[in-house]
């Protein structure tokens, strides 16, 4: 009975090792997750709120003005009309910056 139990233990260990190797290979083969921050992808309100402006710029609602300007620049570089971006999105990005800096009296969008 002792050699039978030893053989069974070796077989169980080999089977567990095989499944462990398969799991490790599947883990390594999975596609990498992008480390790029995802920007707000739309669904604009008629009058922009501070929350919506923060989502568009990818920042929190209570950040200093220099962070707002830095975030505005990053998003604007990615969506500038001269580089193939949309005029509508550029106006919304500019409006979001104005709302976050407190420089707007309502919906300043040209669209």
pLDDT band for position 12 (cuts 50, 70, 90): very high
- Distance between CA 50 and CA 98 in Å, rounded? 10
Q: For residue 63, how many other CB atoms are within 10 A of its CB? A: 14
- Among candidate residues 67, 54, 43, the one with its CA nearest the CA of residue 99: 54
Average pLDDT, the chain: 85
Each residue of 39-77: pLDDT tens digit? 556 677 788 889 889 988 989 988 999 999 999 999 999
Yes or no: say if 63 and 99 are a contact pair by the CB < 8 Å rule.
Answer: no
Question: DSSP characters for 79-103?
Answer: H-GGGT--HHHHHHHHHHHHHHHT-
């Amino acid at each position: 009975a002792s050699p039978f139990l030893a053989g069974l233990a070796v077989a169980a260990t080999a089977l567990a090792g095989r499944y462990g190797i398969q799991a490790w290979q599947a883990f390594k083969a999975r596609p990498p997750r992008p480390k790029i921050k995802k920007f707000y992808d739309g669904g604009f309100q008629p009058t922009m709120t501070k929350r919506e402006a923060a989502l568009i710029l990818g920042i929190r609602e209570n950040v200093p003005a220099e962070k707002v300007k830095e975030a505005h620049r990053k998003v604007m570089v990615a969506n500038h009309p001269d580089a193939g971006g949309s005029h509508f999105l550029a106006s919304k990005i500019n409006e979001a910056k104005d709302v976050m800096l407190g420089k707007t009296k309502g919906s300043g969008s040209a669209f």
